Amino acid sequence: MSQNICQWIETHADFVPEKLAVRFEGREITYRELLSQITQTAAVLKDVYGIGRGERVAYLGFNSPELLVLLFACARLGALLLPLNWRLAPLEQTYILENAVARILVCDDDHKMIGHQLSDKVPGCVACDHADIATVTDDVHDCVDRDPKVDLMTPVLLVYTSGTTGRPKGAVLTQQAVLFNALNSVHMHDLDISDHILTALPMFHVGGLNIQTTPALYVGATVTLQRRFEPATVLSAIRDLRPTRLVLVPATIMALAEHPDFKRTDFSSIRSVTTGSTIVHKSVIDIFHDRNVPVIQNYGLTETGPVALYLRIDDAFSRVGSTGRGALHTRFRIVDDEDRDVPTGQSGELLLQGSNVLLEYWRDPAATRQALQDGWFRTGDIGYCDSDGYVYINDRKKDVVISGSENIYPAELEHVLDQMEGLIEAAVVGMPDNRWGEVPVAVIVPDSACDIDKAKVLSCFDGVLARFKHPKAVFSIDVLPRNVMGKVLKHELRQMLTDEMSTQADLGAGRKRGKLAQVF
């Protein structure tokens, strides 16, 4: 086993120094050059900014080679990389930086201004640009002494995921977790040095970073990075660069299919398309299956690296709808409410165990104890296993809304609504959406003495939560359904919304029909 994951790059720089490692907007970086950049960046982080073992290095920017360089430089120093979601509102980003006690915030050119504004609000956090952590010195290759305390059990990634309590939680992934996630991915995809990965999904998510990108660097393959997902540029890269694999979520698959160039694009170089992050409908998978491109599903969470269950190419066409078997280095159980294994075909909560699973939640021992019990990670997702060992996810125990691969927790939105004048109470649930899979919908109980309209409700989210988290519809109700313990019965709300939407031929009428009325 390697002492730290930076040795992946060191080994390839020895064996295949001129092999193309990363391509990005006209730049081509070999493994030898990638190692040089990692070493120089590690030296600057250590000598200029005082970054050492356990320090947090945040990154705010679109996909770029610099993000990958930072990851491996942190691995060498024993520091933690904190990739920030650039889609979040400044208040959300500020909370994460403060909670993580970030020492440095590295920004790309597109996020320099907001990055410096954020660092001004976070004590002890210094903002810098890409250029500030690069050097022009050629003789720094050996200037970073190896710290004997840095090994595979050293944390290297701190990735924040939305929390059920309304605040995001930081999942701590060790270098071992990144390694075993890579090993799982290699087995899932049959990855090897001949592969060429096209990364278009954002690498601030572990999906964009770890399903194929870091595993590709583990095996010595080539990665083409795209700054951000755009259908035209993805299709152009497939046509001109002939990549072999890519990861897409259902929303991006549909966006590609709707582009006028999709039908005339040659996909013969693509060995497989990997998807997941939510329940994937057959109609979405068929978009590529109709082009004879295998679509393989992956199941996982930020806390699992994320590769935990998956299909392989041999099962792509015959097991549509399944999220596959347990990964090579991950075990799973499906249990009832008393933690007893359920029989084949019966639904229960999915538990996971493996070296790819998070070490802990950052500074949150209570959440860690709740999630990690008796050596198993409780996913909160509901599924079943068929007689052949294939898992199907059919529900979520938690209330998370997965919209276009982004996790949206109703508690975040409800916290905002609770502070709005004129509302007695409110709840947020996810409803099906043809494009995004799900979207959040707010159900409010307005004070009869106040004048409430949709614009007023939605305006309370401006600048507080990211735009993609805002409710897409607002309904009013006289009283929220609750059980005897006072808990809002969200399954009843979802059913009421489904019934209301199916009976209203013209939602724009705004008339109250039954218990719910849409707010305009």
> What pLDDT score does 506 carry?
42
What Cα–Cα distance (Å) separates residue 123 from each residue in 99, 159, 175, 236, 301? 11, 20, 28, 44, 31
In a domain, 391, yes or no: no
Which amino acid would we find at residue 111? H
Residue in the block written with tokens 């509901």? 382
Map residue 237 onto helix, strand or coil: helix
- Cβ atoms of residues 301 and 358 within 8 Å: no
In a domain, 67, yes or no: yes
In a domain, 90, yes or no: yes
In a domain, 272, yes or no: no
- pLDDT tens digits, one per residue of 358-401: 999 999 999 999 999 999 999 998 889 999 999 998 766 777 88
First to last CA, the chain: 60
Residue closest to 194 by CA, chosen among 20, 14, 9, 34? 20
pLDDT at 117 over 80: yes
Structure tokens of 318?
A: 């015959």
Distance CA(517)–CA(346), nearest Å, equals 37
In a domain, 31, yes or no: yes
Omega before 306 within 30 of 0, i.e. cis: yes
| Residue 450 CB coordination number (10 Å) | 12
Give the range among 28-32, 148-152, 277-281, 423-427 with minimum mean pLDDT: 277-281
> What pLDDT score does 166 carry?
63
For Cα atoms 202, 213, 78, give the angle at the middle one, nearest 5 degrees.
95
- pLDDT tens digits, one per residue of 299-310: 999 999 999 999
Structure tokens of 450?
A: 């106040």
- pLDDT tens digits, one per residue of 274-297: 998 777 888 889 999 999 999 999
Residue closest to 328 by CA, chosen among 359, 361, 305? 305
Residues with Cβ within 8 Å of residue 188, at least 6 apart in sequence: 274, 296, 298, 307, 310, 311, 312, 327, 328
What is the count of structural domains for the chain?
2
pLDDT level of residue 407 (50, 70, 90 thresholds):
confident
Domain end point (choices 118, 133, 151) = 151
Q: Model's pTM, two decimal places?
A: 0.86
- pLDDT tens digits, one per residue of 471-481: 999 999 999 99
* DSSP string of 295-363, one letter each residue: EEEEE--GGG-S--EE--GGGTTTSTT--BEE-TTEEEEEE-TTSPBPPTT--EEEEEEETTS-SEETT
pLDDT level of residue 179 (50, 70, 90 thresholds):
very high
Domain residue limits at 59: 1-151
What is the pLDDT averaged over residues 167-195?
97
Any idea what the CATH number is for the domain that residue 440 is in?
3.30.300.30
> What pLDDT score does 258 carry?
94
What is the pLDDT averaged over residues 16-42?
97
CA R_g for the chain = 23
Distance CA(389)–CA(288), nearest Å, equals 25
Residue closest to 8 by CA, chosen among 239, 302, 214? 214
Which amino acid would we find at residue 326? G
In a domain, 163, yes or no: no
Distance CA(260)–CA(236), nearest Å, equals 12
Full 3-state SS string of 92-149: HHHHHHHHHCCCEEEECHHHHHHHHHHHHHCCCCEEEEHHHHCCCCCCCCCCCCCCCC
- Cβ atoms of residues 196 and 224 within 8 Å: yes
- Which residues in 355-479 belong to E strands, given as ranges? 360-361, 372-373, 376-385, 391-396, 401-403, 406-408, 423-433, 437-446, 473-476
Look at strands 348-354 and 330-335 and give their pairing: antiparallel
Task: Compute the half-sphere exposure of residue 259: CA atoms within 13 Å on the CB side of its CA.
Answer: 17
Domain end point (choices 100, 117, 151) = 151
Map residue 246 onto helix, strand or coil: strand
Question: Higher pLDDT residue, 408 or 240?
Answer: 240
What Cα–Cα distance (Å) separates residue 138 from each residue in 6, 33, 135, 143, 306? 19, 11, 8, 11, 36
pLDDT level of residue 3 (50, 70, 90 thresholds):
confident
> What pLDDT score does 505 carry?
44
Domain end point (choices 119, 151, 183) = 151
> What pLDDT score does 392 carry?
93
Cross-strand pairs, 124? none
Distance CA(314)–CA(4), nearest Å, equals 33
- pLDDT tens digits, one per residue of 193-226: 999 999 999 999 999 999 999 999 999 999 999 9
Map residue 447 onto helix, strand or coil: coil
Distance CA(72)–CA(79), nearest Å, equals 10
CB burial class (10 A; 0-12, 13-18, 19+) of residue 484?
exposed
pLDDT at 73 over 50: yes
In a domain, 13, yes or no: yes
Any idea what the CATH number is for the domain that residue 53 is in?
3.40.50.12780
> What pLDDT score does 499 carry?
87
Percent of the chain past pLDDT 90, that is, above it, reads 75
In a domain, 465, yes or no: yes
Residues with Cβ within 8 Å of residue 276, at least 6 apart in sequence: 207, 211, 249, 297, 298, 299, 300, 323
